[in-house]
Structure 1
């Protein structure tokens, strides 16, 4: 009997791709149908169609949170923004169809819309912080983009076309709204660069913000002469492209990365900083060259806001560079596996101690070399990971037993060194041997490793070279290793 071949891999990737394609198709069809219906409908029906469009993302985001598809504070904050936006549109149902959106009238609906966009910005910033390790750089870049976009957009698109119904409060809200939407775009773009598996939902969110910004500007451009249909259609498309972002199968990857958060880059974005500083002054200069009347304080204020943001960005890059240099310096002087001083570091410490001994700052310097016995059988039986556990455990025990001013290092393989600056007890090698020889837990079992130790001491006035001192300790260590080998030989016969 012929049977269908069994799948060689899991089926969920196929289902995810199929669901994503369905989401794309439904979104495109729904947006086109809503636009056509709105264009053909009468004034009263247009209000109903627009209200229905605002409720679609409320339903999808609510369902995504209720089913656990979306989790975390950023999504809760973003959903609160969606609900507030829908509530504002429901209470002032003719705000967009009645051509009030974009007129900067400063009414309660403008406050509701700006507050909702502020919640969107907070949610996007939360997602960005989850994607980066304290990604202050991304937040500062988002704020800079908002300031740089708001000034020119206000000077060339919004301010020249405001009607007599515009108020000072409305203008401030409109300017803030443009800046916040631009900042949201910057945050989402930065997250999209990192969340490569979530490019689909990130694309929907970017389209939503772009359409919202476009609807705002379209409302301003058509405020004096023109219909509100285009403003409403563009704004409806923003709602309808926001809705699928909640149910897309890859959306959880935006805030719950599979990989560890990415560390911020230390490369200075000098081009971006230069654009941020020049955007608003350049706009003002072009207006002056054209002979346009410049009566607004928006450009100077935006320029003054950009300067401290750029300074904060430069300071943040300086801190990151200092941290990177400290990390590199630490790795250059310390063993990667155990965190102890490496050969270069311990050699320099021995030289420094001998120099202090020659000038009378110290009375005695002792170097102890330790080589583990029985380490290779542990590696062979339990694997290299178990060997790493043994090395780290030995390193921790030696570090805990070291006194103030002592330096413990790993000079390669299973060899360690202890430098003591000052008098050392005669039985110090025996103490180190007993300490290292204690059992080491290895899962349900435990292992023991022996150690051969050799010590060499230099006192004030002897003027001993570092290589000579290390050679004495090395000879003593190998003498003890040979003695240990002879002790084991009768047991093997």
Structure 2
């Protein structure tokens, strides 16, 4: 594989980024408008070139999302080529609603969507935390808009321009929250790539903020910040940790904190609180913020509730399974199999119980250890389930004792089933210390319809027959 390589040292990327940032930033800040346009173009082309090289070399996997991200970068280049002095002259963040503003917002959206799709498999490992972080990011972006951007917008700002910048701020804030969550939880090389992506979002937001606040030399400040943001994009693409970012973590990463319902309430209260403050101040400048921010928060809240509902349903299924199944073998446990026998006895068919007790299991435990004994029990359980087939319940009563419950069946069919159980159970079982074999003694009892035999009596009959059939005339304990 050509460079970039996943095994390359990260310091090369860091050193290259710092060198390009210092040279490009200093050159941009110290030169005139014409030279700034050239430097900006070179940096954007370099960023797209490195990103494309990382994609073509196979360093970045899952190509389609990354191609979408490169499409966003290409739009940013087109925006600069069409209006080369737009950022240089300090128009960024002024909410003028010009085509350059709209193209820039579209380019940001494409890049963020592409990058999000590319890292979605990693985000899925902490889906709840990511949604929480996005909600808080949107809420923080709303406050940032009302108390930082809105008061400083120039008279040339248009409603369309304000809505465009507001959406840009909210999306950047949401992405910053998600990336910060991922960076805190990440381990290993992936953290470096995530840090560069986070820095990209922060620098882009900083460039917008500098333009909106009208800081001195805002054209130079916004331009340098955007220029460095492009370099961080390139650094993220060629960083050794980039391949790990698009894959689920191989180990459980540190959780950045547990979800609290109170925090969801806080997130939902931010926008109404901002609106209340504005009403008390008789300030209507941020009227557009509440509906737009709410439209972004509500889907996130719905996704979060869906996640919580899914978690609860999965937990309930797990608990229900654990309550009715044997932990070691996965068969019905004693309580559940007894319930199945009671249920069968209420029907119109004969109920046949086969009580199966293993022969020679204790020597396996003594010689090979309890772990090997557990392997034997799991193997026998699987064989019993296979031989019993559909329509018959198999359970573990405890130790090395199993039970098969049949609804209906002639004496010949039940005798054939018993013989197949004996033949299957005796087959060798491979263990680390070598193959072992165990036998099985089966006690059978039948309850015909209307005979009045209850579950206890049925089990007692099968147990007596099983005990009488034991080769050594005594029970083998596990």
Q: Is the 8 A contact 2:357 2:400 kept in 1?
A: yes
1:220 aligns with 2:195: no
Deviation at residue 75 of structure 1 after TM alignment: 2.9
- 8 Å CA contact 1:364–1:459 kept in 2: the answer is yes
Q: Does 1:453 align with 2:442?
A: yes
Q: Does 1:74 align with 2:60?
A: no
Closer, same or farther: CA 193–75 of 1 in aligned 2, 3 Å: farther
Contact 1:398 1:432 in 2 (8 A): no
2:202 is aligned to 210
Q: Distance in 1 between matches of 2:83 and 2:430?
A: 68
TM-score when scaled to structure 2? 0.83
Is the alpha carbon distance of 1:136 and 1:213 closer, same or farther for their aligned partners in structure 2, counting shifts above 3 Å? same
- Cα deviation digits, residues 230-270 of structure 1 (max 9, x gap): 111111221122221111111211112352799x9996532
Give the secondary structure class of the aligned counterpart of 2:469: helix
Change (3 A) 1:441 1:59: farther
In structure 2, relative to structure 1, the CA distance for the partners of 1:227 and 1:303 (3 Å cut) is closer
Give the TM-score normalised by structure 1. 0.80
- Listed as ranges, the gaps of 5+ residues in structure 2 are 1-5
Q: Name the SS for the 1:340 alignment partner.
A: coil
Deviation at 1:480, TM superposition (A): 3.1
Residue-by-residue CA offset, 1:112-163 (whole Å, 9 max, x unaligned) = 3222222233234324531255976466446534542342222222222222
Q: Match of 1:231?
A: 222
1:117 matched to 2:108: yes
The answer to whether the Cα contact below 8 Å between 2:441 and 2:469 also exists between their aligned partners in 1 is yes
Counterpart-to-counterpart distance in 1, 2:256 and 2:395 = 32
Deviations 1:260-283 (A, max 9, x none): 799x99965323312221111111
Contact residue 127 and residue 191 of structure 1 kept, 8 A: no
Structure 1 residue 335: Cα displacement: 2.9
Displacement of 1:320: 1.9
Instruction: Say which is worse superposed, 56-65 or 428-437, in terms of deviation.
Output: 428-437
Q: 1:335 aligns with which of 320, 326, 329?
A: 326
Contact 1:429/1:453 (<8 A) preserved: no
**Would the aligned equivalents of 1:184 and 1:209 in 2 still touch at CA under 8 Å?**
yes
Partner residue, 2:351: 365
Match of 2:240 among 231, 245, 249: 249
Q: Secondary structure at the match of 2:323?
A: helix
CA distance in structure 2 between the aligned counterparts of 1:36 and 1:265, rounded to whole angstroms: 37
Residues 387 and 75 from structure 1, CA distance in 2 versus in 1: closer, same or farther, beyond 3 angstroms?
farther
Which residues in structure 2 correspond to 1:424-443 (within 5 Å)?
Answer: 425=411, 427-435=413-421, 437-438=423-424
Q: Hey, what does 2:3 align to over in structure 1? A: none
Q: Kindly indicate whether the alpha-carbon contact (under 8 Å) linking 1:211 and 1:237 is maintained by their aligned counterparts in 2.
A: yes
- From 10, 13, 19, the equivalent of 1:23 is 13
Instruction: Give the corresponding residue for 2:49.
Output: 59
In the alignment, is the contact (CA less than 8 A) between 1:195 and 1:257 conserved in 2? Answer: no
Equivalence for 1:488: none
> Does the aligned pair in 2 maintain the 1:364–1:422 contact within 8 Å?
yes
Cα deviation 1:75-103 (Å, max 9, x = unaligned) = 33323323332332233222211212112
What residue number does 1:391 align with? 380
Q: Is the 8 A contact 1:158 1:220 kept in 2?
A: yes
Call closer, same or farther: CA 1:101–1:59 in 2, change over 3 Å: same
Q: 1:345 to 1:213 in 2, by over 3 A?
A: same
Among 307, 313, 320, which residue is 1:316 paired with?
307
Partner Cα separation in structure 2 for residue 133 and residue 422 of structure 1: 48
Q: Count matched residues.
A: 460
Question: Which range moved further: 238-247 or 78-87?
Answer: 78-87
* Counterpart in the other structure of 1:159: 150
**Conserved 8 A contact 2:130-2:181:** no
In structure 2, the CA distance between the partners of 1:421 and 1:393, relative to structure 1 (3 Å rule), is closer
Alpha carbons of structure 1 residues 294 and 109: separation in structure 2 relative to 1, 3 Å: closer
Equivalent position SS for 1:228: helix
| Unmatched tracts of structure 1, length 5 or more | 1-14, 486-493
List aligned pairs for 1:293-304, cutoff 5 A. 293-294=284-285, 296-303=287-294
Q: State the alpha-carbon separation in 2 of the partners of residues 376 and 434 from structure 1.
A: 23
1:39 aligns with: 29
Moved more, 454-463 or 134-143: 134-143
Are the equivalent residues in 2 in contact too, given 1:340–1:395 (CA < 8 A)?
A: no
1:142/1:183 contact within 8 Å kept: yes
Q: 1:350 & 1:69 partners in 2: Cα distance? A: 59
Q: CA shift at 1:54, angstroms? A: 1.8
Partner deviation per Cα, 1:270-311 (whole Å, 9 max, x = no partner): 233122211111112222333434462322443355345424
CA-CA distance at 1:24 after TM superposition:
2.0
User: For 1:194 and 1:242, how far apart are their aligned partners in 2?
Assistant: 21
Q: Is the 8 A contact 1:333 1:345 kept in 2?
A: yes
Q: Compute the displacement of 1:442 (Å).
A: 7.1
Rounded Cα–Cα distance in structure 2 between residues aligned with 1:388 and 1:39: 74
Is this contact kept in 2: 1:205–1:242, CA < 8 A?
Answer: yes
TM superposition shift of 1:206: 0.5
